[in-house]
Amino acid sequence: MDAALAGLVGGLAGAILGTGGTLTATLLTTRAQAHAQYAQFSRDGRRSAYSAFLGAGTAFRTEAKKWEELAFSTPPDEPAIAAALAAAEGLRPDVVRAAQVVAVEGPESVTESAFRFVDQTLEFINAAGSSVRERALNWPAGQQQTEMLSAHVTAVHMTGRLYEFAGAARESLHGPVRPNQTQRRASLPIIN
């Protein structure tokens, strides 16, 4: 083979290998970017669902807290107590819808945490509703107190469930909390 042909074949082989290497690098870079964009899109969807759930849950808990303050006040303002319960009942569908979105977006641990809070909202409405009905029927004070305390305990548990959900959501989005983050994050308020 003469030198000109060998130079041409070598140049052609080099061009083919160089182009192949460039195409492979471009393909790998494009795939990595697509994966990173999908992961960010997924994280943004979860963050939005988690934020919506925390907002709906906090709104419900705020109304439950209003009911508590009114139910334990002296003298009790029965129409205001009934209105506070109705407001909480009106917010429950928002909590359920937000939990359903979390179920689509979130991992199982976050979904379970959201539905534990949803269960607490129903327990609160049942206990608070029983208390309101018992007051309206002038049932014995001891029985009324039992239902009021049951609603109060459930409301306290709701606050814990919101914190539990926030922790599970945070871990889902950012991974486990590192030891130096625990104190700072634990002090962040979720509700009023």
Task: Note the pLDDT tens digit of each residue in 6-52.
Answer: 777 777 777 787 787 777 777 777 676 656 565 555 667 888 999 99
**pLDDT for res 59:** 95
- What pLDDT digit, counting tens, does each position of 95-147 carry? 999 999 999 887 898 999 999 999 999 999 988 888 777 666 565 665 667 77
- Provide the residue ranges of all domains of the chain, joining segments of one domain with +: 44-186
- What pLDDT digit, counting tens, does each position of 59-83 carry? 999 999 998 888 888 787 888 888 9
| Residue 148: pLDDT band with limits 50, 70, 90 | confident
DSSP labels for 26-83?
A: HHHHHHHHHHHHHHHHHHHHHHHHHHHHHHHHHHHHHHHHHHHHHHTSSS--HHHHHH
Cα pseudo-dihedral 21, 24, 26, 32, rounded to 10: -140
Helix, strand and coil percent figures for the chain, each rounded to 5: 90, 0, 10
**pLDDT for res 5:** 76
CATH number of this structure's domain 44-186, picked from the four choices 3.40.1130, 3.30.200, 1.10.3470, 1.20.120: 1.20.120
